[in-house]
């Protein structure tokens, strides 16, 4: 059997290094030895494929998962899941989690003195359609303090997790909002050296997906690794 | 035109909100094959347990075939086996999962990969996930495994070997992020 064609490697600076001292938690957890470079075998180019039955009907609208609507500014977040060649990746499982509009997560470790909303869990899930599109309705998450450094605040963000076509296309990331004054101060956002790659983390305000009288729309396309074109790129 | 990939960002301390709804600690269920348990701990550079890590697992079935259309091998598929797991650590950094012993799968060239489980590791503090592999110390195929052979220092290969605990179909495997026993991670 011929060797499988692998996926492309990230260009320098387009993905974070494991050790990024301004983000304090990376210091005691980032490996100190360089990872061992390995080819993509059948074990890496394959990966779990999840069917549409994984996603319940309430999971794309985080504002209506309980008895009453969630509190906060309702927004729509949608876009396409693509590979590096711009090809849509239909069937991709997209998981999302976030804090509420006041900047508080529904999690026992989050002791930030901000109210919990009994009508907001902060978890959603979708499967990208035939054109690679996904769409969530949620509330705009609040900024919140953390103890990384003096007077540290995380910019508003939504966590995203994606399973692409193979295990090596796995991506977990965070989406940010345009014009957030906290972005230049955030060591997590600023772990990406390449400015073009970094801009990928910021959604765009989108009048087209804005629903009149209902919610502002934000567009965020997510790009996963593409296939190597030649064996040399493996 | 080539698009730049979306950068990775850490899962942060509240990863359980996003990952728990799809936790899978029993990969075996009704699948064919020898059931095994793999258990261990995830430790940081100071030897402290990491309570907010998640291991994702991907493996072939007992015959060495992956449940994926790109595995065109002739070994049989098992409709009862997906091969995916998602296992969080507990407050003491411990994890435990049940699966079936994977079969050997083809490697680069005409090599054979020893039975292994691919691990994708997430935690607060990791801005980008890490890939590693679990091998079973009692598998005779390990000696010829093309991926283990990439590790220059033979002593470090041992960090990928799950050790059989006395008499049981249970293996012990720890992940150590830093230091003398630092686990080998792969750039894939």
At residue B154, the 3 state secondary structure works out as: helix
The answer to whether residues B17 and A106 touch, using CB atoms and an 8 Å cutoff, is: yes
Q: How far apart are CA B22 and CA A124, in angstroms?
A: 12
Q: What is the mean pLDDT of chain B?
A: 96
Contact B24, A165 (CB under 8 A): no
CA distance A96 to A136: 9
Q: Is A227 a catalytic residue?
A: no
Mean pLDDT across the stretch B127-151?
A: 97
Q: Given this model, what pLDDT does residue A230 score?
A: 58
Quick check: is A154 catalytic?
yes
Res. B1: pLDDT tops 80 = no
Q: Does A60 touch chain B (CB under 8 A)?
A: no
Torsion of CA A14, B22, A25, A167, to 10 degrees: -30
CATH of region A47-224: 2.60.130.10
Mutation site for A-interface testing, chosen from B2, B9, B55 by largest number of A Cβ within 10 Å? B9
Sequence length of chain B is 188
Distances (CA, A) of A6 to A9, A171, B71: 9, 16, 13
pLDDT at site A234: 43
pLDDT, tens digit, 9 for 90 and up, residues B67-84: 999 999 889 999 999 999
ipTM above 0.85, yes or no: yes
The closest CB to that of B182, out of A3, A31, A47, belongs to A31
Is it the case that residue B127 has pLDDT exceeding 90? yes
Instruction: Give A180: exposed, middle or buried? Use CB within 10 Å, 0-12, 13-18, 19+.
Output: middle
3-class SS of residue B130: strand
Lowest-confidence pick of A49-53, A67-71, B12-16, B183-187 = A49-53
Whole-angstrom distance, CA of residue B15 vs CA of residue B123: 8
SS (H, E, C) A142-190: CCEEECCCCCEEECCEEEEEEECCCHHHCEEEEEECCCCCCHHHCCCHH
**Which pLDDT belongs to residue B124?**
97
Q: What pLDDT digit, counting tens, does each position of B86-121 carry?
A: 999 999 999 999 999 999 999 999 899 999 999 999
pLDDT of residue A41: 97
Q: What average pLDDT values come out for chain A (234 residues) when binned by 10 residues?
A: 88 97 97 97 97 88 97 98 97 98 96 97 97 98 97 98 97 98 98 98 98 98 91 47
Contact A172 B122 (CB under 8 A): yes
**Residues whose CB falls within 8 Å of the CB of residue A109, separated by 6 or more in sequence, listed in order:** B13, B14
Mean per-residue pLDDT for B179-188?
A: 97
Give the CATH fold of the B15-176 domain.
Protocatechuate 3,4-Dioxygenase, subunit A (2.60.130)
Is any Cβ of chain A less than 8 angstroms from the Cβ of B150? yes
| Residue B135 region by backbone torsions, left for phi larger than 0, else alpha for psi between -120 and 50, else beta | beta
Mutate to test the interface with B, among A5, A21, A31 (most CBs of B within 10 A): A31
Nearest CA of chain B to the CA of A42: how many Å?
Answer: 7
What is the C-alpha to C-alpha distance for residues A141 and A105, in angstroms, rounded to an integer?
10
Annotation marks residue A144 as catalytic: yes
pLDDT for A2 equals: 77
Asked whether the beta carbons of A26 and A18 are under 8 A apart, the reply is: yes
Q: Is B162 helix (H, G, I), strand (E, B) or coil?
A: strand
For residue B12, give Cα distances in angstroms to A57, A74, B25, B126.
Answer: 27, 24, 21, 8
- What percentage of chain B reaches a pLDDT higher than 90? 94
Q: Residue range B158-175: average pLDDT? A: 93
DSSP tally for chain B: helices H, then strands E: 2, 12
Q: Where are the domains of chain A?
A: 47-224
């Amino acid at each position: 059997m011929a060797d499988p064609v692998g996926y492309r490697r990230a260009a320098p600076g387009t993905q974070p290094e494991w050790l990024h001292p301004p983000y304090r938690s990376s210091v005691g957890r980032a490996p100190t030895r360089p990872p061992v470079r390995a080819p993509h075998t059948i074990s890496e180019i394959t990966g779990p494929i999840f069917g549409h039955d994984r996603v319940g009907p309430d999971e794309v609208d985080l504002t209506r998962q309980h008895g009453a609507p969630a509190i906060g500014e309702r927004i729509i977040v949608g876009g396409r899941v693509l590979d590096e060649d711009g090809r849509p990746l239909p069937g991709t499982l997209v998981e999302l989690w976030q804090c509420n509009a006041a900047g508080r997560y529904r999690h026992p470790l989050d002791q930030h003195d901000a109210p919990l909303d009994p009508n907001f869990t902060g978890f959603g899930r979708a499967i990208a359609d035939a054109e690679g599109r996904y769409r969530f309705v949620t509330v705009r998450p609040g900024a919140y303090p953390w103890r990384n450094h003096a007077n540290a605040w995380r910019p508003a963000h939504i966590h995203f997790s994606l399973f692409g076509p193979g295990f090596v296309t796995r991506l977990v990331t965070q989406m940010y909002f345009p014009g957030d004054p906290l972005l230049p101060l955030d060591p997590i956002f600023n772990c990406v050296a390449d400015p073009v790659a970094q801009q990928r983390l910021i959604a765009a305000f989108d009048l087209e997906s804005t629903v009149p009288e209902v919610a502002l729309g934000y567009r965020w396309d997510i790009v996963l690794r593409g296939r190597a074109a030649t064996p040399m790129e493996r | 035109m080539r698009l730049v990939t979306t950068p990775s960002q850490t899962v942060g301390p509240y990863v359980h909100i996003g990952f728990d709804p799809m936790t899978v600690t029993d990969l075996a269920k009704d699948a064919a094959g020898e059931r095994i348990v793999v258990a261990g701990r995830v430790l940081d550079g100071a030897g402290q347990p990491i309570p907010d890590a998640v291991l994702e697992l991907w493996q072939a079935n007992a015959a060495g075939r992956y449940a994926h259309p790109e595995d065109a091998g002739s070994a049989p598929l098992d409709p009862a086996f997906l091969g995916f797991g998602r296992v969080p650590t507990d407050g003491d950094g411990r994890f435990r999962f049940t699966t079936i012993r994977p079969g050997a799968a083809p490697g680069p060239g005409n090599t054979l990969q020893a039975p292994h489980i691919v691990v994708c590791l997430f935690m607060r503090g990791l801005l980008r996930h890490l890939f590693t592999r679990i091998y079973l110390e009692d598998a005779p195929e390990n000696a010829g495994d093309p991926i283990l052979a990439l590790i220059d220092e033979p002593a470090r290969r041992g960090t990928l070997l799950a050790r059989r605990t006395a008499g049981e179909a249970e293996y012990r495997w720890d992940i150590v992020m830093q230091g003398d026993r630092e686990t080998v991670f792969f750039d894939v």
